[in-house]
Amino acid sequence: MTAVAVLEEVLASIENELQAVEMQIQELVDKQQELIQKKMRVKNLIKQSSGDLDAGGSKDMETSAEAWNKKDFPWYEKIKTALQGKFKLQKFRSLQLETVNAAMAGKDIFLVMPTGGGKSLCYQLPAVCSEDYKSLGILKRQFPNAPLIGLTATATNHVLKDAQKILHVQKCITFTASFNRPNLYYEVRHKPSNNEDFIEDIVKIINGRYKGLSGIVYCFSQKDSEQVTVSLQKLGIKAGTYHANMDAKYKTKVHKGWAANQIQVVVATVAFGMGIDKPDVRFVIHHSMSKSMENYYQESGRAGRDDQKADCILYYGFGDIFRISSMVVMENVGQEKLYDMVSYCQNMSKCRRVLIAHHFDEVWDSANCNRMCDNCCRESSCEKMDVTGYCRDLIKILEQAENMSEKLTPLKLIDAWSGKGVSKFRVAEVTPPKHPREELERVIAHLLLQQYLKEDFSFTAFATISYLKIGPKAHLLKNEAHVITIEGITNKKNVYKDKASQSSNSKGSRENAQNISKTVQDSVVKKAQEHKRPNCGSNLKAKKLKLQAGGDDQPVVLD
Torsion, Cα 275 281 283 285, to 10 degrees, reads -20
61 and 161 assigned to the same domain: yes
271-282 pLDDT, tens digit each: 787 667 789 999
Same domain? For 319 and 396 the reply is no
Tell whether 559 is covered by a domain. no
Residue ranges making up the domain that contains 411: 383-545
Boundary (domain end) residue, out of 143, 176, 209? 176
- C-alpha to C-alpha distance for 256 and 263, rounded to whole angstroms: 9
One domain, residues 435 and 387:
yes
d(CA 368, CA 370): 5
Q: CATH number of the domain at 111, please.
A: 3.40.50.300
Q: Given a cut of 90, is residue 471 above it in pLDDT? A: yes
The answer to the question of residue 411 being in a domain is: yes
pLDDT above 60 for 501: no
Q: Is position 162 within any domain?
A: yes
> pLDDT over 70 for what percent of the chain?
80
Catalytically annotated residues: 119
pLDDT tens sequence across 293-339: 999 998 999 999 999 999 999 999 999 999 999 998 888 788 999 99
Residue 2, pLDDT > 60, answer yes
Asked whether 219 and 228 are in contact (CB, 8 A), the reply is yes
Long-range contacts of 70-76 (CB under 8 A, 24+ apart): 70/101, 71/97, 73/101, 73/104, 73/105, 75/101, 75/104, 76/101
Residue 263: band (very low, low, confident or very high) from pLDDT cuts 50, 70, 90: very high
List the Cα angle 488/493/496 in 5-degree steps. Answer: 85
159-206: pLDDT as tens digits? 677 777 777 777 788 887 778 899 999 999 999 989 999 999 999 999
> What is the bridge-based pairing of β-strands 464-470 and 453-459?
antiparallel
DSSP lists the bridge partners of residue 520 as 490, 543
pLDDT tens profile 438-462: 999 999 999 999 999 999 999 888 8
pTM of the model: 0.68
Q: How far is CA 239 from the centre of its chain?
A: 27
pLDDT at 155: 66
Four-point Cα dihedral 217, 219, 224, 227, nearest 10 = 0
Compute the average pLDDT of residues 21-33.
72
Do both 235 and 335 map to the same domain? yes
Q: Report, as an integer, the average pLDDT of 86-96.
A: 84
Domain match, 388 and 460 both: yes
Q: What confidence tens digit (pLDDT) does each residue in 228-244 have?
A: 999 999 999 999 999 98
Q: What is the pLDDT of residue 48?
A: 65
In a domain, 555, yes or no: no
Between residues 412 and 520, which one has the greater pLDDT? 412
Q: Exposure string (b/e) for 472-492, b if CB count within 10 Å is 16 or more?
A: ebbebbebeebebebbbbbbe
Percent of the chain residues past pLDDT 90, beyond the cut: 42
One domain, residues 7 and 132: no
- Read off the pLDDT of each residue in 381-386 and give the average, rounded to a whole number: 81
Asked if residue 205 and residue 345 are part of one domain, the reply reads yes
Domain count, the chain: 4
56: pLDDT confidence band, cut at 50, 70 and 90?
Answer: very low
In this predicted structure, the answer to whether residue 516 has a pLDDT above a threshold of 50 is no
Phi, psi for residue 260 in degrees, rounded to 5: -90, 5
Residue 284 forms part of a structural domain? yes
Nearest CA-CA partner of 181 in 357, 374, 375, 378: 357
396, 369: one domain: no
Is residue 43's pLDDT more than 90?
Answer: no
- Kindly state whether residue 552 falls inside one of the protein's structural domains: no
Q: What is the mean pLDDT of residues 101-109?
A: 86
Asked whether residue 340 falls in the same domain as residue 446, the answer is no
Average pLDDT over residues 53-66: 56
Which of 377, 392, 415 finishes a domain? Answer: 377
Pick from 52-56, 248-252, 498-502, 527-531 the range whose average pLDDT is largest: 248-252
Contact 108, 171 (CB under 8 A): yes
**In the predicted model, is pLDDT for residue 496 greater than 60?**
no
List the one residue out of 226, 218, 375 whose CA is nearest residue 298.
218
449, burial (CB in 10 Å: exposed 0-12, middle 13-18, buried 19+): middle
pLDDT of residue 128: 61
Instruction: Note whether residue 123 is domain-resident.
Output: yes
Distance CA 357, CA 366 (A): 10
CATH classification of the domain holding 431: 1.10.10.10
One domain, residues 216 and 343: yes
pLDDT tier for residue 4 given thresholds of 50, 70 and 90? confident
Domain stops at, among 356, 377, 398:
377
pLDDT of residue 116: 72
DSSP collapsed to 3 states, 125-140: CCCCCCCCHHHCHHHH
- Rounded to 10 deg, the angle between the 318-328 and 410-417 helix axes is 150
Indicate the SS3 state at residue 96. helix
- Give the three-class secondary structure for 154: coil
**What's the rounded Cα separation, in Å, for the pair 290 and 321?**
10
Is 556 inside a domain boundary?
no
Task: Report the alpha-carbon distance of residue 131 to residue 136 in Å, rounded.
Answer: 8
520 within 8 A of 551, measured Cβ to Cβ: no
Same domain, 352 and 417: no
Query: Residue 554 has what pLDDT?
Result: 37
Does residue 407 have a pLDDT over 50?
yes
**Residues contacting 211, CB < 8 A, separation 6+:** 530, 531
For the residues 106-122, what does the mean pLDDT come to?
A: 82
Which pLDDT band holds residue 397 (cuts at 50, 70, 90)?
A: very high
Strands 485-495 and 149-152, bridge-based pairing: unpaired
The DSSP code sequence of 493-511 is: EEE---GGGGSS-HHHHHH
pLDDT at 275: 63
All residues at 6 or more sequence positions from 51 whose CB lies less than 8 Å from its CB, including other chains? 57, 58, 59, 60, 61, 63, 64
Per-residue confidence (pLDDT) for residue 58, from 0 to 100: 44
Contact 96, 89 (CB under 8 A): no
Q: Are residues 416 and 344 in the same domain?
A: no
